[in-house]
Structure 1
Amino acid sequence: MTHFSRTLRAIRGVIATSAFAGLVLGTSGAAQAAPAAEPRAAGERMATTGCGKAPEVTPGVTSEQRIESGGLARSYTVHLPENYNPGHRYPVVLSYHGHKRTSQWQEELSGFSAYDTIAVYPLGLTGTDGESAWQGAPYSADADDVQFTGDLLDRLQQQFCVDERRIYAAGKSNGGGFVGVLACRMPERIAAFAPVAGAFYPQSGPCEPSRPTSIIAFHGTQDATIPYEGNPAKGLPALPDWLEGWAERDGCRPEPKTSTPQPQVQVQVQVQRWTGCDRASSLVHYRVEGAKHVWPSTTPNNDSSTPTVIDATPVIWDFFKSHALKH
């Protein structure tokens, strides 16, 4: 064998050895590399990691916060109880404002900051009519507010000592309609829902919740904005039809039991409670006779100077307290 042949064989050997080593290393590297993480679904439950951390906001004071969601800058306000203890797990109440309103307006209207909860007031994006709105309305922005809600809950659970079994959502008008969207899409993460004068537009899409869902709904019979009997031109359902749909989804008995908690009052409040619902879920409706497009309150609020005969917020809070997700 010539010197050239021996040299050529040696070179070929080195090349072959290097190629094999590269193949082995490449395979090994691929085996060791973690697969790309799938984005977390908004409705997927997450363990709280914020317990024991000093809060980044002052307890007892409402603070404006910002977060990025879906490539968009979003904002919200948060109010911790004045005696907030980072070693104690707290419920969360998300309270969504109506069309054209703000986080500050919704805090004043719903008043959840007065309760022993982490009260959060998200802000909707500017919609097609130049006003703030939530997903599911014909005038809302092209944004995923369900994902925003999931991202917001992730942030809250990383910052504060959140009881992930006791997360709740309430809202007024378009915000109430969006709470209906959340009931359809996030029942694994949110334990109970409270739409008030809710606008349940067909643009919300199909409703196929993964489990029975607990809902308490308020609506005035003289609501001219979102009529109690519906608005076919806008695709808004009559409240009895909307409630019937939820009774069917929750597996409740079709006919509710009706009571009047204040029979001595001339303007009645009718309470409808469905029974026999699956997995201990609850469906309750407060039909406020004569009330307009308002968050019911026995004192004037920034919705109306005319009081109603019932305060919605404490009733909602009691309903929320009676519901928690199972582990």
Structure 2
Amino acid sequence: MKTIRQRLAVLTVSLMTTGALGAMAAPAVAAGGSPDASPETGGAQAAAQSCTKATDQESGASAKYEITSGDDTRTYILHLPKNYEQHRNWPLIVAYHGRGSTGTEIEGFSGLSSLPAVVAYPNGEIGTGSGYRQAWQGAPYAPPGVDDVKFTSDLLDQLQSDYCVDPSRTYATGKSNGAGFVNLLACRMADRFAAFAPTSGAFYPQATEGCDSAKPVALLDIHGTGDSTIPYAGDPDRKLPAIRSYVADWAARDKCDPNPSTRRIGTDVTVYDWTNCAAGDVEHVAVTGGGHVWPGTNTYSGGGHVTHTIAAQDVMWRFFSEHRLAAPRGAMS
């Protein structure tokens, strides 16, 4: 496995200085294209690359949809990138909001819809266990009886059937309770996602059930050391692990060297990279003094300090672009 220094050398990372963009963006992706190919123009090449699945949704726009999962009707926001119709195999990112938030809100502050990918923003269920707020499986306040793992599987089946997305380049991210659920997906759905990127994650015991026997996965974790909602040092009263211990557990599952390499970005970001892994990649980005927020955003995403040294969506896009599934479920047509 490459160290982060090797990755940076290969990817030619550039610093972004406007909006919510930050360090570690991956310019290897052509604008409006896919990570492994630049857009083709003209003749047979254009026809071969174009999407053949019809949709009424406009490229560069977002729309709300419903899906039946089990006995429930669930909803999600779907964003199609610019020039969507010109390519047949877009990466797919599924982004899970935090407790009490919505798919619309995480789209608004995350910057994920600016990436050259199809992005789905599912909405959690409301139940008494969540304090009458939308939440996800994997937390003590999750709606009783909710099966968000099945919902995710059903959502992937629908998106891979109806849209021009590549099952081998499907990724999951989320914030807070949504990030905790992303960890649950890493433990249970390693055959559907190529990489996972929890941010400000709430890793309750319910979010780590079955993880001891989980398959190795590529995982990038981002967390602020000044997070007062989900403390970086952990919270024994809520059975929340220390974040460094949580990431080290994934490094152990991936059979990486136990001691990570480290590097600094600016004055407030430290990157920990576990190397020589038997499978998967494990990386942790610690934001010194960072709050319970989405790094790099200019829109409210939670309490505490927001760094602009990096932007979370650019860090995870660089990480996602390095990983794909060898034998994904689902097929392109």
TM-score scaled by structure 2?
0.79
- Aligned match of 2:296: 297
Deviations 1:83-137 (A, max 9, x none): 1126520010001000000011010121211111001100000132100100011
User: Is contact 1:56-1:159 (8 Å) kept?
Assistant: no
The letter of the residue matching 1:88 is R
User: Is contact 2:194-2:325 (8 Å) kept?
Assistant: yes
Change (3 A) 1:326 1:100: same
Question: 2:180 aligns to what SS in structure 1?
Answer: helix
Describe how 1:220-299 pairs up with structure 2 within 5 A. Answer: 220-262=224-266, 265=267, 268-279=268-279, 281-297=280-296, 299=298
CA distance in 2 between counterparts of 1:112 and 1:140 reads 25
The letter of the residue matching 2:218 is S
| Aligned-residue offset at 1:300 | 4.9
- Aligned match of 1:219: 223
Task: State the Cα RMSD in Å.
Answer: 1.7
User: Is contact 1:187-1:209 (8 Å) kept?
Assistant: no
CA distance in 1 between counterparts of 2:297 and 2:133 reads 29
User: Is contact 2:59-2:85 (8 Å) kept?
Assistant: no
CA distance in 1 between counterparts of 2:278 and 2:105 reads 36
Change (3 A) 1:238 1:68: same
Unaligned runs of 5+ in 1: 1-49
Describe how 1:149-160 pairs up with structure 2 within 5 A. Answer: 149-160=152-163
User: Is contact 2:291-2:305 (8 Å) kept?
Assistant: no
User: Is contact 1:51-1:162 (8 Å) kept?
Assistant: no
Identify the range of structure 1 (306-315 vs 249-258) with the bigger mean alpha-carbon deviation: 306-315
Change (3 A) 1:54 1:96: same
CA distance in 1 between counterparts of 2:105 and 2:67 reads 20
Identity %: 44
CA distance in 1 between counterparts of 2:214 and 2:229 reads 31
Describe how 1:41-190 pairs up with structure 2 within 5 A. Answer: 52-85=52-85, 87-127=87-127, 128=129, 129-141=131-143, 142-190=145-193
CA distance in 2 between counterparts of 1:51 and 1:208 reads 40
The letter of the residue matching 1:135 is Q
Change (3 A) 1:210 1:236: closer
Deviations 1:154-178 (A, max 9, x none): 0001111111100000000000000
Question: 2:146 aligns to what SS in structure 1?
Answer: coil
**Greater radius of gyration (CA):** 1
CA distance in 1 between counterparts of 2:225 and 2:301 reads 20
CA distance in 2 between counterparts of 1:55 and 1:233 reads 49
Change (3 A) 1:201 1:304: closer
The letter of the residue matching 1:156 is L
Unaligned runs of 5+ in 2: 1-49, 328-333
- Aligned match of 1:9: none
Question: 1:93 aligns to what SS in structure 2?
Answer: strand
CA distance in 2 between counterparts of 1:292 and 1:154 reads 35
Deviations 1:204-226 (A, max 9, x none): 32214653100110111111100
- Aligned match of 2:28: none
CA distance in 1 between counterparts of 2:304 and 2:108 reads 14
User: Is contact 1:192-1:213 (8 Å) kept?
Assistant: yes
User: Is contact 2:64-2:77 (8 Å) kept?
Assistant: yes
The letter of the residue matching 1:147 is K
